[in-house]
Structure 1
Amino acid sequence: MSVGERIAAARTESGLTQAQLAAAVGMARSALAKIETGLRGVSAVELVAIARELRRRVEWFVDPGPPSIVSYRASRSGLATQAIDEALDRIARDVEFVVGEVPELVNGQPDQQPTPASMPAAEDLAATARSLLKLGADEPVLELSRLVAVIGLLPFALPLGDGADAGTVLLRAGGVCVINGDLRVGRRRLALAHELGHYLIADPYTTDWRVAATEADALEARLDRFARALLLPARDLHDRWAEWSASEDETLRDAAVRAGSHYQVDMATLARRLDELGIVDSQQANRIRGVGTKKADIVEKNLVVPREMEPIALPRPYEQAVLRLYRNETVTVDRALGLLLGTFDEDALPDRPAVPDAEIWTVTS
C-alpha cells in the first residue's frame, strides 16, 4: 500500500468522507483526493494533521509493518478493522522496534507444530506445550503469561470492550498476543492458552472473536480443546475431582469452586472439560456452569484469587527492554512512555546516568 492508499483506508475505517477529513485538517477536498490516488505527495505537516484526525500514529502510514500484518491487510480488501486488529498492529510495530534494539528480548520461537487434525491430536499438542513451557504433566498452569513469554510469545492485556477475545501476530522472531483485558480472569487465561495454540502451529495473524463459544470452525474447536487440555490436565483433574467430590461435607458446587480456583479457570471451561472427559454427566456440567464463587468461598476455603493479565498488562521482559533503552538514552522520555502504553509516568522511569562535568563542558564549549 502507498501512503495515499493507507490514508484512504484509515479514512474509510473512521467513517469519514474525503470532504469531512479535508475540512478537519484544513485542506481542499481535491488535494486530499489527489493524495489518496497518488497524483500528489503529502507533506510532513499534512500527514501529521491527517494522522491526528484519524487517530493513527504517523508511522502507520509510512511503515508497512510486519509481513504477517501486510498479508492480512491485503486479504481483507480494505474492510474496516476492529479494535483488537488496531491494537495488534500498534503493538507488533512497537515490539519489532524494541527487538531491533534488544534482540535478546525474543530468542526465537519453537519449531512449528503440526496443526491438530482431531481432538486427540489437540490433547497431544497440549502435552507438547507443557514440555515447551517446562511444566509437569499434572502441574497447574500458573502465570501462563510469564511462561509463554519465555518461548517468544509476548502477551499484552488491554481494555478492549466488546469484541474479540484475543489475537496473535507472528513477527520475524517470536510473536505478539493481545488479550481483551475486559474479560474475566479465567476467560483471559483461556484466550491466552488458545492463542498459544495458534502460535505453536505458526498461524501468521489471527483474531478470535468467541473463544470456546462455537464448534462451527473445526480448527478453532480443536484449539479450544488444546487450551482446555493445557489448563486442565486430564489425569490430575480426574484425581482431584474424585477427591473433592468424595467428601461428605462437599457439594458439587464446592468441588467446582475448588477446581476453578486451583486451575484458575472459569466455570464454563471447567464444566466443558469435565464433560468431555466423562468425569461428570451433562446435567452436572450444566449445574457447574451456573456456579459463582462468593467472597465467603474465598475465605472459608482459603482460595487463591488470580489477577493475571489485569489490564493494562505488559510482558515483564518487554518492560525491562524498554527501560533499558531509556536508561541507555536510545529512546526519549515520550517514546519510552508510549512503548509502555501509559503504564508508567515520567517519575516512575529509572534515573539515567549523570553526565560527567567534562562531557558537559565539551558539548557547551
Structure 2
Amino acid sequence: MGGEQQDWQRIGEQVRQARMSLGVSQQDLADRVGLDRTMLAKVEAGTRRVDGVELARLSRALKVSMEYLIEPRPAVLSRRAVLLTEETDTVAGRSSERLEIALAEWLRNVRQLVSIGTLQTHPVRQYPHAVTSEADARQAARWLRQQMGLDSEPIGSIMQLCERAGQWVLVADLPGDGASLIDGDLAVAVVSTEGDPGRRRTTAAHELGHLVIGDEYSNDLGVSASRADRELVIDAFAAELLLPIDALASARAAGQLTREVLINYAARYRTSWVLALRQAEQAQIIDAATRSAWSSPRPTRAEFMEALGWAPQPDLAAVRVPPGYAHAVIEAWRGNRITRVRAIEMMYGQITDADLPEETDPELAP
C-alpha cells in the first residue's frame, strides 16, 4: 500500500507541476476537466485517485501525455528540477518546467523507437579532457569539428550534426530557449521555436556543448564554477563550433576586416550578428571599440541575403525532428509497430495525416 500511495502522490505532484507551468489555477483546471476544485486539490496532494477518463481529460488540459502523468520523471530531471510553488512561480520558472516536460516526453519517444528497433543510436561524443575555462571550451569545439570532419567549414545542418554526435534534438513550440539531458545511453535536447532560426541554431549548439563538455553535475566545470560561469563557457563552445576563429584566418592575415566582410561570414556560417562580432574580437581582428560601433544598427535581412547572393539557407526554420528519428517513425508505422495516429503525434507537427500515404498504397505493399 505504501508504494501505491507514493505513486498517487507522484502523479498528483506531476499534475500540479504541469498545471503551474501553464499558469492555470486549480479552479480553472477543475472547470476544464469537470472536477470540483476540492477534488482536484486532493488529486494534487495524492490523496485521491483518478480513473482513466479523468486522467485522459487532465492530460489534454495540461498538454502532456498520460504517460507523463503516470510514469516517474527521468532521474536526471528529478535531481536538477526546481519545483514550482506558489512562492517560486515565475514566468522563467514556468518556461523551464515546460521545457523539462518536453524533454521527458521527447526522451520517452526516442526510447520507444530504440526499443522497437527502428532507431539506431550514435555513440555519444564527449570531450576527453577537463573543461574549466572558455579557452578549454573552444578547444573542445575544435575537437568536435575534427571528429565530425568539418575543419573550418560552415555547418550544414546543426540538427544532423547533433544527431551524429549522439544528441537527438527536438524543435518545439515552447517558451524559453532550450534544455538537454543525458539519461543513461541517450542524449536529448529541446530547442524552442521562439526567436529567429539563427537563435535556434545557437541554442542547439549550446545544448550540444552541454553534451560534449559533460554533465554539469559531475564534471570539473560543474564543481568549480557557478551556473552563470558554466553557461559562459558553454557559450564559448557554441560560438567556436558555429564560426571557428580559424575561419576568419584570411581576414586576420589581411590585417583588417570590414563590416561587409563580417556580414558575409555571419551569413555563410548562419550565425547571429552578435556571435560574429564576438568571434571577430576573439580572433583579434577587431577591437572592443569597433565591436561596439558595429553592433548597432544590426545588419538588415537584405544585407544578409546580398551576402548569400539572395539564396536563403535556413536551418531549424521548418524542421522539427532529426532525419534519423523521422525515418525511424515512418519505418515503425509501416511495420505496424505504432499506429498512424501515434506516428503523426511523434512527428511533432512536421507532417500531417494527409502527408502519410494510405495503408493500401501500392508502394507500401511487400
TM-score scaled by length of structure 2: 0.81
1:297-316 equivalences in 2 (<5 Å): 298-299=305-306, 302=309, 304-316=311-323
Establish whether residue 288 from structure 1 lines up as the match of residue 294 from structure 2: yes
**Cα distance in 1, alignment partners of residues 14 and 53 from structure 2:** 17
**Cα distance in 1, alignment partners of residues 198 and 31 from structure 2:** 46
SS of equivalent residue, structure 2 residue 94: coil
Q: Which residue does 2:166 correspond to in 1?
A: 152
1:206-234: CA deviation from partner (whole Å, max 9, x where unpaired):
xxxxxxxxx98211111111111222222
- CA-CA distance at 1:341 after TM superposition: 1.0
Aligned residues: 337
2:43 aligned to which of 23, 35, 38: 35
Q: Higher Cα Rg: structure 1 or 2?
A: 1
- CA-CA distance at 1:15 after TM superposition: 4.1
Residues 204/153 of structure 1: CA separation in 2 closer, same or farther (3 Å cut): farther
- CA-CA distance at 1:19 after TM superposition: 4.4
Residues 77/254 of structure 1: CA separation in 2 closer, same or farther (3 Å cut): closer
SS of equivalent residue, structure 1 residue 107: coil
Q: Which residue does 1:196 correspond to in 2?
A: 208
Q: Which residue does 2:260 correspond to in 1?
A: 254
**Cα distance in 2, alignment partners of residues 129 and 218 from structure 1:** 22
SS of equivalent residue, structure 2 residue 35: coil
1:3-59: CA deviation from partner (whole Å, max 9, x where unpaired):
222223333444445444334333344433433333332111121122223332211
Residues 299/12 of structure 1: CA separation in 2 closer, same or farther (3 Å cut): closer
Residues 241/157 of structure 1: CA separation in 2 closer, same or farther (3 Å cut): farther
2:238 aligned to which of 223, 227, 236: 227
Q: Which moved more, 1:269-278 or 1:317-326?
A: 269-278
Among the aligned pairs, what percent are the same residue? 25
Contact residue 185 and residue 306 of structure 1 kept, 8 A: no
Establish whether residue 339 from structure 1 lines up as the match of residue 353 from structure 2: no
- CA-CA distance at 1:268 after TM superposition: 0.7
**Cα distance in 2, alignment partners of residues 235 and 49 from structure 1:** 55
Contact residue 157 and residue 315 of structure 2 kept, 8 A: yes
- CA-CA distance at 1:296 after TM superposition: 6.1
Letter in 2 for 1:332: T
Contact residue 156 and residue 314 of structure 1 kept, 8 A: yes
SS of equivalent residue, structure 1 residue 36: helix
Contact residue 107 and residue 173 of structure 1 kept, 8 A: no
The runs of 5 or more residues in structure 1 that have no matched partner are: 206-214, 247-251, 356-365
Q: Which residue does 1:118 correspond to in 2?
A: 133
SS of equivalent residue, structure 2 residue 169: strand
Q: Which residue does 2:198 correspond to in 1?
A: 186
1:215-265: CA deviation from partner (whole Å, max 9, x where unpaired):
98211111111111222222331224555957xxxxx22112211122221
1:277-323: CA deviation from partner (whole Å, max 9, x where unpaired):
21111222123323414536634762653200014521100100000
**Cα distance in 2, alignment partners of residues 154 and 337 from structure 1:** 18
Cα RMSD (Å): 2.9
Contact residue 245 and residue 255 of structure 1 kept, 8 A: no
SS of equivalent residue, structure 1 residue 155: strand
Q: Which residue does 2:5 correspond to in 1?
A: none
**Cα distance in 1, alignment partners of residues 307 and 69 from structure 2:** 56
**Cα distance in 2, alignment partners of residues 202 and 81 from structure 1:** 26
SS of equivalent residue, structure 2 residue 170: strand
Contact residue 194 and residue 226 of structure 1 kept, 8 A: yes
Residues 103/240 of structure 1: CA separation in 2 closer, same or farther (3 Å cut): farther
Contact residue 252 and residue 283 of structure 2 kept, 8 A: no
Q: Which residue does 2:124 correspond to in 1?
A: 109
